[in-house]
Amino acid sequence: MAISEMTDRESRRTLATTTTIASSALSDSDLNLSSLRRRPSSTTVRAETNGFEGESSADDAVRDSSSDDSATGKSSEDDRDSKLDSVSPMEIGNDSVTNGKIGNSENREGVQDGAAVKFAYRPSVPAHRRIKESPLSSDAIFRQSHAGLFNLCIVVLVAVNSRLIIENLMKYGWLIKAGFWFSSTSLRDWPLLMCCLSLPIFPLAAFVVEKSAQQKYISEPVVVLLHIVITTAAIVYPVLVILRCDSAVLSGVTLMLFACIVWLKLVSYAHTSYDMRAVARAIEKGETPPSTQSKDCPYNVNIKSLAYFMVAPTLCYQPSYPRTACIRKGWVARQLVKLIIFTGVMGFIVEQYINPIVRNSQHPLKGNLLYAVERVLKLSVPNLYVWLCMFYCFFHLWLNILAELLRFGDREFYKDWWNAKTVEEYWRMWNMPVHKWMVRHIYFPCLRHGIPKGVAVVIAFLVSAVFHELCIAVPCHIFKLWAFIGIMLQVPLVLVTSYLQNKFRNSMVGNMIFWFIFCILGQPMCLLLYYHDLMNRKGKTD
């Protein structure tokens, strides 16, 4: 009887406590749970040693977090919702079971805390407190983590491409021959190799001209004329060598890329030196005070600075560059291994996938339209893989390896062009060395001479189109201007994508349009056009 009376008294006390807590909680319109929960006191700690070993860790987390909120005097609705959602029903059940072990009057504060937690999960407590967006809604999609979806995409890509590899091997067999990287026919390209090795003659000639200008042996107009002759010869000489030799297309493209890089560097060297001479003359005459920029980059013709510039991963000349402290040899070795692996992946995709698709295709402008669309769509995926591997190998791996070996500090060779919302943003972010060269030596000089911005942009695209045509048409011995037209068509695309971006005010629309043009309408079509024109030229020659 005594035990039952004691149990009844404890039950009445617990019920009274729960009623008091419930009434105070119901009077709070915000259901401020932090006012109902406190950090366990010393008596609660003693109660835990007497019989609270089974209390769930969720209660501790709620008490600790609520005590922090009470200390600062603030508790947001997001924090309360996360606290309520983070505790499972099993933990609540365990809490009620452990609270059933209470039999000591010293445990009343522990009972209050446990009852507060249990009250928070009663059916009468509102489950919906504020306005929330779904995680995949357009307004909230960029505030959520999509790591799981990214992993799913990786799994799907691996599965799909594994099936394509097996299907391709079953259909065509192993297409990569032993002479893929080197064969006896490559020996015919030795004139191109000798031409490439002789390209340093032009930077040396430019140095001699600048040294003569510094010593004032020749006048300024003569300096400008000699630089024009040197830069013109640096691009015409490789073109003549390629046209006179029946070399492989890949060898010709490589030589033209080197020649274009030398030309861009020589233009930057001549233009920058010209400007530094003008600044030095103005300072001597007292027309302008010496600025910090002229002190940091004085006009001083030095063969070492020119030689470093010719091999550095930049197209913009300056007497000195930011340098790193040391060379990370282990890092360089890892990047070289990656470069070899991804280069092999590119070769495998080209030989095993792109070549069979292109050989089994028709001229996209002369054959069946529906068949041409099917070939372009089928070619777009492996072409995109090759282009992404090329970008990663050259702009990330190779340029960073070169920068590390030369201790070149500024390694912003690209920006996040994959997030481009317009075609203009893509061209400003995907190739930073060329973009900086265009801005420094084409765009701003046009603006300084009073040319409108729109015309200056068209001139920059015109220069880019000419060099794209040289790098592709000259090695193929085909002058159909497909690459030139493709680059110049970017100008109206810049206007169209900018208009759509301003109209819809949605970054996803512009980015999707960019990827559609980039993956389907651009490179696959250009590849098919040049391939069939090249095959037709070889057929006529044979």
Active site residues: 468
Q: Which amino acid is at 386?
A: V
The CA-based angle 299-305-307, given to 5 degrees, is 140
The sign one gets for the Cα dihedral 248, 250, 254, 259 is positive
C-alpha distances in angstroms, 492 versus 495, 498, 536?
5, 10, 31
Whose structure tokens read 């909120």?
Answer: 69
* CA pair distance 96, 117, nearest whole angstrom: 10
* Amino acid occupying residue 340: I
> CA angle, 97 as apex, 96 and 101 as ends, to 5°?
110
With H, G, I as helix, E, B as strand and everything else as coil, classify residue 408. Answer: strand
**Phi, psi values for residue 408, rounded to 5°:** -80, 125
Q: Pick from 489, 497, 496: which is nearest to 523 by CA?
A: 489
- 91 is written with which tokens? 């933990």
**Token pair recorded at residue 189:** 């390209």
Cβ atoms 189, 251 nearer than 8 A: yes
How many other CB atoms are found less than 10 A from the CB of residue 339?
Answer: 18
Contact assessment for residue 294 and residue 283, using Cβ atoms and an 8 Å cutoff: yes
Burial of 285 (0-12, 13-18, 19+ CB in 10 A): exposed
Q: In the Cβ-directed half-sphere of 304, how many Cα atoms lie within 13 Å?
A: 4
59 Cα distance to chain centroid: 44
CA–CA gap between residue 174 and residue 169 (Å, rounded) = 6
3-state class of 323 per DSSP? Answer: strand
> Please, which residues have CB within 8 angstroms of residue 175's CB and are 6 or more apart in sequence?
351, 352, 355, 356
Q: Indicate the SS3 state at residue 1.
A: coil
